[in-house]
Each structure stands twice: as structure tokens, then as C-alpha cells.
Chain A
Amino acid sequence: MINVFNSLLVMILALNLLALGSRSILSVIRIIAIQGILLGILPLILHEGLSIPQVVASLTAISMKGVVIPMVMIHAMKNIRIKREVEPIIGFVPSSILGAVITGSAFLLSNQITVSTGGYENMIIPAAITTILVGFIQLITRYKAISQVVGYLVLENGIYIFSLLLIEAIPLIVEMGMLLDLFVSIFIISIITNHINNAFSSLDTRRLTTLKE
């Protein structure tokens, strides 16, 4: 099982780099949707004896991260007639390389961290940290409001990977609450994104500069 688990994690990390290098916002959203589906499968592999709450939590995560949230974002994009390009501060190739460097160093450094038991932890911790940092790169280096939302989603995905370490400690209702909060926040942010476009005729957050000292 650990091989399947590890290869899924590697795919998730590869999707990170793919998302950093993609030019079109729509394809970035699709990449993140696939990442969300893979993430939802992970907890099912992690534990041999499947319980109903775990299956429910996984299915909800898959449908939220893989289907509902990407659809909300694509729907928000539909109403907006803009150049659907990502427009990063640093180019696509450099940011992919930066992502690869982060991935490599996270795995090297994770050997230094004390780990309680062998096995899954060795992969989960560096994968989580990498994904969180990739989310930050997208948040910081992208101008378009919707690309920043994607960055926030990747950040949340990284935190979700870390939560795999604590699968017994997180009750079902808490996990559901977290997914619900994530959905509502993306929903509200998408609405605001639409208003930004209507008011500023652009999704470029560089235009949001009226409020400053």
C-alpha cells in the first residue's frame, strides 16, 4: 500500500509544478481539481480497515476539492471577459524551477526532523510543506485575483496533506466543518472577484491601490 500512497503523493507534487508552469488560468484550475481528487483518495489508502466516517470524509473532500470548488471558480471566470492568462511576476519556467528546488530541499531537510515512527511520515511532512510553499509562491507572484485564489487553494491542499498524519485525531464533524468553510470562502471570494472585475474592468489586483497611507 505504501507504494501506491507514495506514487500518489509524487503525482500531487508533480501537479504542483505543472500548475506553476501553466499559462492559462482554466488549465491551472483543472490541475488543482485533479490534485484535489488525488488528495481525497489518500486517506482511503492510508488505513486498511475502512470505517464509514472515513469514507464519508474522503468522498466529501473529493467532491468539494475536485468538483464543486473548481466549478464555482470556472463559473466565476465565465462571466468575465478578460485575457485568461496568469500573468506572473516571475516567469513560468523560473517559478517551476523554484518549485522544484523547494520540493527537493523540503525532502532533504525533512530527514533532519525527528520523526516518531517510520513509514508514511517521511513522505507526508515534506510533501505538505512543499505544497504549502508552492501555494505561497502562487499567492505572491500572481497578479490576477483568480490566480491568487488558486494559490490559496493549493495552500489549503498542503495543510490537508499534513492532516493525514492526524487522521484519528480529527473527528468527522471537524473535517466536514473545515471543508464547508473552505467552500464558503471560495464562494464568497469568487463573488467578490466578479465585483472587482465589474468595478475595475480588470482582475488585476495591482489596480486595488486606492487604499493606502
Chain B
Amino acid sequence: MVYFQVIIPIALALVALVVPSNRIRPWLIPITGVIHFCLTLWLLFNPEQCYVNSWLILDPVGKIILLNVSILYLVCSFYAAGYLQYRLENKNRIFVACFVAFIGIFTLVCWSYNLGVMWISIEATTLITAPLIYFNKSTQSIEATWKYLMVGSVGIALALLGTFFLAYSAIVGGTDASMDFYYLLKNGGTLNKGWLQAAFILLLIGYGTKMGLAPMHTWKPDAYGEAPGIVGAILSGGVTSGAFLAITRIWQICNVAGETAFTSKILMGIGLFSMLIASIFMMNQRDFKRMLAYSSVEHMGILIIGLSVGTTALFATFFHVIASTMTKGMLFLSSGNINRAYVSKNTRQVTGAIRRLPISGTLFLIGFLAITGTPPFAPFVSEFMILIKAFAAGHLVAGSLYILFMLVIFMGMGVTVLKVVYGKVPKDVVDTPYQDGILTAMPLVAFLVMILVLGIAMPASLTHLLNEAVSFMGKPI
């Protein structure tokens, strides 16, 4: 089944390269989204299909990430089809092909149980998303793509070195070298401590670059700012959660090896630093797409803090992966619509969005409230649960800083968002014909429904899935 999930999108990407019409080609994206989502659902109901060989296993953690991104991609795919109809002046051949192939390669990230295969597929998601950032073909988007590629490639090269260090720590520890995740978990106790710690740091830097943790986040504001909103949604929900999955893998190995105290300190430090950087740069931020990028840095920090707190906070952490992905999806797509209507992403030109675009403007505002932890939306539940578990685990200072940063971010983000949403539509604004259409507005509503449902009454099946992942991560092998 994994082969279908990987090969069908790649085959459809090849189809996209030969379809001649700019107008028809984008419809390949929703087709891919629907097929991929159906296959994911089918897998969830047929757990016996989740083992292919020792390299390709879909474990409970992988299932959550795969389901998360599959839903995100499904909703975004309809938006993408609608969005590209507004951008027919730009050739979308490469864009559609890369967008379609992305989900196939991403599936491999979730399945890979060999850390080498995992590295290859994460690197491949970086490469396949680079042309997406370049879609607008302006000088700014070239700059953003260049930074994304260089920072991302160097970061991911360090992750490769970390993977090799990890394999070598097994040799120094007296067993066979291996990049097999299950083997390393089983032999975690014998790994050489020094090499393992070095491997952990390199992998955290490498995959942390992909996640956009501070101080490796420098590509993020540029890439999210210059790429179309739809690409921001896929990058901030998809690529980052794949990198987070990779970090949970190394975290688990370090746990088995008895390095929990070491990893916990580093993760907490880097998580809080990400929140600090986000709160500083979100103050007085006039560019609302860059603001969303810093918000993404913040939420990656929250995920890492959740991981640092340990087993007790894992449920909330994985829930936050889903909650923040869906809310970010809503924010990026609505910001894309606003950007389209005003041909600007600066609050000096963009005001009164709620009058100009009633649906996108309202949902942008709701998205801001949701992501900053206002009830009754899903991120409130997950952010609050992580905080409580941090206090319960004795992280008093870290917990207090967490509240402080959340507060500063709420205010900083609020100033920018309120400027965008309220006020009068400026007279001298470029007159664009863009209005919310079904394809560009309904995906936002779908995200809203999801974060509401998840925040008020989480489905029992999802609770079950999350609990499975927690017990998988927590249990000794």
C-alpha cells in the first residue's frame, strides 16, 4: 500500500508535466489529495497493512503525522486548484508537478524505519518544495528560494552527519553499525554515549533547521513571506511535522540509551529560545505573512518544549501537531486571499480586510485567536495541556517563561492582525477583481470546523490514535 501512496502522486506529477493546458492542469492536485487521503484512511482501518519490511513500517507516531498531513493536503489541494485559476498568467507546470509529487515523497518520510531512507526523503521534500517558493518569480522570491535551499541543504547535511554518528556510536559501543531505527532502539543501551550525544546535537540542528527552530529559522520568514499562501500552509504544516517526526525518532533512541536528562535540557533551551525569538520579531511586524512565519517558529518551539517535558506531555504534543497544522492552514490560506485582494502584505496598505473580504477577513481573525490559545479552539487545549504538564514535571521557570512569551506573542500578533482586519479599506489601494470564491473560501471553513470540533469534543478514534503513539514512544523496548 505504501508503494501506491508514493508512486501514484509521482506518476500524477509526471502527468502534470505533459498536460498542456494551464487551466486543466491544477485539477490534478485535488485528484491526488483525494486518492492520498482515501489510501491513508484505508491504512488506518487495516493495521495489518502497516508493515511492509524492516525499512518501511507505519508505526502509531508515523500514522498521526501521515494522517495530519494527508488531511492538510486534501483541504489545501482544492484551494490550490482555485488559487491557480487566478494566476493563469504564470505558467504552473512545474508548480503543479512539484506540489503533486510532494505528498508522495512526504509519505515516505512517515513510513521510513531506516534513518538513511528518512534522511533521503526529508531532503527530497526540501528540494521538491523549492520551486514552489519560486512561483512568483520576483527578485524577492529568488532571494527567498536561495536562502531556503542553502540554509536547508547545509542543515540537512549536518543531519546526515548526525545519522552517521548515530550508526558509528553502535560500532564504538561494540555492536554492528546500523541505520535501522528498530535495531538502534533495541540496542540503545549499548550505544557509545559521547558519539550518541554528538549525533543528537547534529540531528537536532539539522532537522531543527527544517522545522525552523531558532536560531536555525532564518530561511523561514523569507520563504513564507515570498511564497504563495498555499505553499506556506504546506511548508508550515507538512514539511515541519516531517522534521518533527525525525526528531522524535532520535529522542526515543536517546531515551532508551538513558540520555533523557541530557536531551531534555537541550530541547527545553532551544524550545524556549524559539518562543523568545518569535515574540521579539512579532512585535511591530508590518508584514503579516512574515508574522505568520514567526508564529510558526513559536509553535515549533512549543512542540519541542512538549518533547522536552517527556512522556507525560506527549499526548498534548502530538495533539498540538494536529491543532497547529490545521490552524496554520487556515491562517496561511486566508492571508493568501488577503494578499491577493490587496496585492500587498504590508499593514500600511492592507486594512479593513473584513469589509473587503468578509470570509477571509473573519477567518484570519479567528485563526489568530485560535493559534494564540483562545478557547474553544483546539490549540487552546493542546497549549494549555503542555503548560500544565510542564508545571507538573517541575519546570517552574520554563513554564512561567512559556506563559510570558505566549502573552507577548498574543499582543504583538494582535496589533498586526487587528490592523489588517479592521479599519477602512484604503482609497488608493490597487483595485483587484479578487473576491472570495467557493474554492478559495470553503477550505478555510473546513479548517475552522476541524479546529472547533477538535477543541470541543475530540473524536474517540483520534484519542485512541494519540494514546497508541504515546504508549509506543514511552514503552521500553
Contacts and interface: CB of A to CB of B under 8 A. Distances in A.
B172 interface: yes
Contacts, number: 116
Interface in B189-224: 192, 194, 221-222
Interface in B153-174: 153-154, 157, 160-161, 164-165, 167-168, 171-172, 174
Nearest to B168: A165
Given A145-B146, A192-B145, A116 B172 contact: yes
A116 B120 contact: no
B127 A188 contact: yes
A210 B140 contact: yes
Nearest to B170: A169
A211 B226 contact: yes
B194 to A, nearest CB: 7
Interface string A170-213: 11011001101100110011001001100110000100101101
Contacts of A114: 172, 192, 194
Given A169-B177, A174-B117, A192-B134, A156 B142 contact: no
B131 A188 contact: yes
B171 A165 contact: yes
B149 A178 contact: no
A162 B142 contact: no
A148 B150 contact: yes
Nearest to A187: B127
A163 interface: yes
Contact of B179 (A162, A174, A195, A213): A174
Interface string B126-137: 110011001000
Contacts of B117: 173-174, 177
B259 interface: no
A52 interface: no
Given A165-B168, A171-B116, A211-B226, A156 B146 contact: no
B225 interface: yes
A114 to B, nearest CB: 7
A188 B146 contact: no
A166 interface: yes
A189 B140 contact: no
A132 interface: yes
B144 A211 contact: yes
Nearest to A197: B142
B161 A169 contact: no
Secondary structure type dominating chain A contacts: helix
Contact of A208 (B147, B164, B178): B147
A189 B160 contact: no
Interface string B303-343: 00000000000000000000000000000000000000000
A143 to B, nearest CB: 13
A174 B192 CA distance: 24
A199 B146 contact: no
Interface residues of B, number: 45
B139 A200 contact: yes
A48 interface: no
Nearest to B139: A199
A106 to B, nearest CB: 14
Contacts of B160: 159, 178
Contacts of B131: 188
A152 B150 contact: yes
B123 interface: yes
B146 A185 contact: no
Contacts of A199: 139, 142
B203 to A, nearest CB: 13
Contacts of A148: 150
A139 interface: yes
Given A166-B164, A174-B116, A211-B140, A185 B171 contact: no
Given A114-B194, A192-B146, 19 more contacts: A139-B154, A156-B157, A159-B161, A159-B164, A162-B164, A166-B167, A168-B176, A169-B176, A177-B120, A178-B119, A181-B120, A181-B127, A185-B123, A185-B127, A185-B149, A189-B150, A192-B149, A200-B139, A211-B221
Interface of B: 114, 116-117, 119-120, 123-124, 126-127, 130-131, 134, 139-140, 142-147, 149-150, 153-154, 157, 160-161, 164-165, 167-168, 171-172, 174, 176-179, 192, 194, 221-222, 225-226, 281
22 contacts: A139-B150, A148-B150, A152-B150, A163-B164, A165-B168, A168-B176, A169-B176, A170-B179, A171-B114, A174-B114, A177-B116, A181-B127, A184-B124, A185-B126, A188-B130, A189-B149, A192-B145, A199-B142, A200-B142, A205-B146, A208-B142, A211-B143
